[in-house]
Amino acid sequence: MFIRQLEYLVTLAKEKHFAHAAEICCVTQPALSTAIRNLEEELGIPIVKRGRRYEGLTPEGEHILKYAHQTLAAWKGMQQAAAISKISGEIRIGVIPTALHVVALLTGAFISSNIDIHEHVQTMSMEKIISALARYEIDLGIGYISGPPEPGTRYLSLFKETFVLVAQKTSEIAQRDSLSWSEAAELPLCLLADELQNRMQINAAFKRANVKPRIVLETNSPMTLYTHVRSAGLYSILPQSQGIFSMPPGLDDVVRISLTPTVDNAVGLISLDKEPRSPMVEAAWKQAKSFGDSFVL
């Protein structure tokens, strides 16, 4: 059994198409198919349902896929450990949309520490972050860490964020210091998508106020929300974390207004709590611990 065979299997399961998987793996389709057939013969079980086209994995194949993810994650860790004198390698990070600035801090810390790293970053909901960690599809999560860690994971707290209303400086309410959730519900709102935990807490706040918000637009992009506040005259509710990251550059024409009662969240790093630990994840953990006063509300 070769690592490459497992890489082919994982890629095929993700792409659900032999030709696409072969292209990503930089091999011919027959070569990929042969490698997976050889894996089936070595293990003595059918892994792929075969027809005229890809039809999915067999139940046995789904079980083997979990081990393939674990084996590839361990292999990557071995490669990193072998080069421990000069930490280098790839790290896959899943992050909630409103915490993307943490990735920038990590990147800067890696560069200043002469750590050679290649980051793969994708935005995810908290549910997907936990699921992707468990399936070894990402190495590190950045998201909400309220309550005890999920089984098999560990948390590193970084900062708290508080929900605020974002409005144009020229709007009628721009001079207000605070608004109630009931007052915010009457405004034309653009909000983050329903599946994000951030939005779930906003929904819960409106429910506690016994009001139904007037929602005009939903998206998973905070920048899209800022754009609609600036250009369409809408209002949004977003987390305010700390001064230097409170607003994207160039958005001096919008204001933040406190919402009462206050709703806040703890945000931090999340990784699997299993040995051996990836050197790249441990490097990220160490760098995050060194941030110190970088996160000040």
pLDDT digits (tens, 9 = 90+) for 116-134: 778 899 998 888 999 999 9
Q: Looking at the predicted structure, is the pLDDT value of residue 248 above 70?
A: no
Q: Does domain 3-79 have CATH number 1.10.10.10?
A: yes
Q: How far is C-alpha 106 from the chain's CA centre?
A: 14
Query: Residue 220: its pLDDT value, please?
Result: 84
pLDDT recorded at residue 244: 35
Q: What is the pLDDT of residue 186?
A: 96
Whole-prediction pTM: 0.62
Q: Out of 31-45, 86-100, 190-204, pick the least confident.
A: 86-100
Structure token digits, residue 185:
């519900």
44 CB contacts (<8 Å, ≥6 apart)? none
Residue 246 pLDDT > 50, yes or no? no
Q: Which two tokens stand for residue 277?
A: 């630990």
Measure the CA–CA gap between 294 and 297, rounded to whole angstroms. Answer: 10
Contact 268, 156 (CB under 8 A): yes
Q: Which of 259, 269, 102 is nearest to 191 (CA)?
A: 259
Name the nearest CA neighbour of 214 among 194, 190, 244: 190
Average pLDDT for 44-68: 86
**Average pLDDT of span 43-58:** 85
DSSP state of 255: E
Report whether pLDDT(237) > 90. yes
**pLDDT value, residue 296:** 39
- 147 against 258, higher pLDDT: 258
Cα angle for residues 155, 159, 162 (degrees, 5° grid): 120
Strand pairing partners for 159? 267
What pLDDT was estimated at residue 265?
85
| CATH entry 3.40.190.290 includes domain 160-265 | yes
Torsion sign (Cα): 210, 190, 96, 127: positive
In eight-state DSSP terms, residue 25 is T
Amino acid at the residue 261: P
What is the C-alpha to C-alpha distance for residues 175 and 195, in angstroms, rounded to an integer? 32
Residue ranges, CATH 1.10.10.10, the chain:
3-79
Q: Which residue has the tokens 């605020």?
A: 164
87-159+266-294 belongs to which CATH class?
alpha beta
What is the pLDDT at residue 113?
A: 72
pLDDT average, residue stretch 271-284:
84
Q: How sure is the predictor about 213, in pLDDT bands with cuts at 50, 70 and 90?
A: very high
Nearest CA to 113 among 290, 293, 295, 292? 290
Per-residue pLDDT at 61 exceeds 70: yes
- 78 has pLDDT over 80: no
Mean pLDDT of 196-201: 86
Which residue ranges does the chain devote to CATH 3.40.190.290?
A: 160-265
Of 154 and 159, more confident: 154
**Residue 278: pLDDT over 50:** yes
